[in-house]
Structure 1
Amino acid sequence: MAAPVMAGIPALKETHQQLKARMDKAVTDFKANLGSIRTGRASAQMLDQIRIDYYGTDTPLTQVAQITSPDANMLVVQPWDASLLNTIEKALRTSDLGFNPQNDGKLIRVPIPPMTEERRRDIVKHLNKVLEEHRTGIRNIRRDGNEIIKKSAKDKKISEDEEKRALDEIQKLTDEEIKRIEELARKKEVEVMQI
């Protein structure tokens, strides 16, 4: 098999590395989103996407509180600043995760209700929405790369053949990255639908 054309031309190699890094970041972000999607047992990662107003700054809950999972059906949120209890409780209540937090004045208990068939389907719908957002993000990165390659060809920095091969490589990279996130989503969907 011939060496990738983008690796042979310094400017194209750099473009390829930048595109790969950006696509890998999108995959990493997708994995982080998957961690916050409920499966049926309590996990501290379920609250990773929750953000609160911390003195005027939109802050992840994980940066202002300790989150533990004492058992499979309960999360405990203990803020480092007790004045945040009501703010955290409100953020948990208004999230689309379906929680009913209980504030005892020192910490917040978050019972994880058993998942109904309907709730599982809602979670899979949410999973598919997140998947599509990340697919679109990867395609946008591909578009940016294609524009760089086409501009290089237009400016006569690369030949038409090199342009065609570089565009093919970008498409191949895009397909691989999308396949990675689709596989992750499939595994998560199986996990969510398990009873």
Structure 2
Amino acid sequence: MIDPVTNQARDQMKKAIEVTHTDLSSIRSGRATSALVENIIISVYGGSQKLKVKELATITTMEAKTIVIAPFDPSIIAEIERGLQEANAGFTPVVDGEIIRITLPPLSEERRQEYIKLARTKLEAGRIMVRQVRAEAMKHLKKLESDATISEDERKHGEKVVQELTNEMIAEIDTIGERKEAELLQV
């Protein structure tokens, strides 16, 4: 009877890790990745629509420091460029014919430290999400016990399983964080 509770907790914790991983991928390290620009929202077609860059163009990376954006509709290239400039993400887009090139400048030590601080904040948010899932699972197990659906021993066993899951998932978040920090410190 505790398996559905622990399985649901595991699934929700894995989703929390995915969200954390996605959040961290949007933090700029020394390398160019499409994640740096794909979720920037651009106002296009005279402001009538607000879409993400990934919905408006193909995003590729060339070398380690260059991102190339090729709009599906070349008529909106100026609007995409303006939106990227307004995003103030620490780079300057340059229109080159029907594509936009973004060459990433090297990160200063100060900027690296800011990004590390931001990464730690996002990691803590991920840990909090995992702990919230744990709290919900524990509450659910107690409710099952009070409804006489499971015994006290089953509840305690379920709580132990949920706590082990929590420890495992938080360790995974910590590992992801260590990798991101190492990536940010790499010059």
Q: Would the TM-score normalized by the shorter structure come out above 0.5?
A: yes
Report the equivalent of 2:7.
Answer: 17
Report the equivalent of 1:36.
Answer: 26
1:94 to partner: Cα distance: 3.6
Uncovered stretches (5+) of structure 2, i.e. residues with no partner:
none
Contact 1:42 1:112 in 2 (8 A): yes
Which residue identity does 1:149 align to in structure 2? L
1:106 aligns with 2:98: yes
Report the equivalent of 1:158.
Answer: 150
Q: Identify the range of structure 1 (44-53 vs 21-30) with the bigger mean alpha-carbon deviation.
A: 44-53
**Structure 1's 167 and 118: CA in aligned 2 closer, same or farther, altered over 3 A?**
same
For the residues of structure 1 that align with 2:125 and 2:171, how far apart are their CA atoms?
14
For the residues of structure 2 that align with 1:85 and 1:170, how far apart are their CA atoms?
50
Q: Aligned with 1:114: secondary structure?
A: coil
**Structure 1's 139 and 77: CA in aligned 2 closer, same or farther, altered over 3 A?**
same
Which residue identity does 2:148 align to in structure 1? K
Q: Aligned with 2:138: secondary structure?
A: helix
Which residue identity does 1:42 align to in structure 2? A
Q: Aligned with 1:37: secondary structure?
A: coil
Q: TM-score, normalised by structure 2?
A: 0.87
- Per-residue CA deviations over 1:67-112 (Å, capped at 9, x if unaligned) read 1222222211111123433443344234363122223563222120
Q: Aligned with 1:144: secondary structure?
A: helix
1:150 to partner: Cα distance: 0.9
Higher relative contact order (CA 8 A, sep 6+): 2
**Structure 1's 57 and 160: CA in aligned 2 closer, same or farther, altered over 3 A?**
farther
**Structure 1's 92 and 117: CA in aligned 2 closer, same or farther, altered over 3 A?**
same
Contact 2:44 2:80 in 1 (8 A): no
Contact 1:85 1:105 in 2 (8 A): no
1:77 aligns with 2:69: yes
| Superposition RMSD in Å | 2.1
For the residues of structure 1 that align with 2:4 and 2:130, how far apart are their CA atoms?
18
Q: Aligned with 1:68: secondary structure?
A: strand
Uncovered stretches (5+) of structure 1, i.e. residues with no partner:
1-8
Report the equivalent of 2:160.
Answer: 168
Report the equivalent of 2:119.
Answer: 127
Paired residues, what number? 185
Identity %: 34
Q: TM-score, normalised by structure 1?
A: 0.84
Which residue identity does 1:146 align to in structure 2? M
- Per-residue CA deviations over 1:39-74 (Å, capped at 9, x if unaligned) read 212222322432334676654322321112222222
Report the equivalent of 2:36.
Answer: 46
Contact 1:78 1:107 in 2 (8 A): yes
Q: Identify the range of structure 1 (28-37 vs 108-117) with the bigger mean alpha-carbon deviation.
A: 28-37
Q: Aligned with 2:9: secondary structure?
A: helix
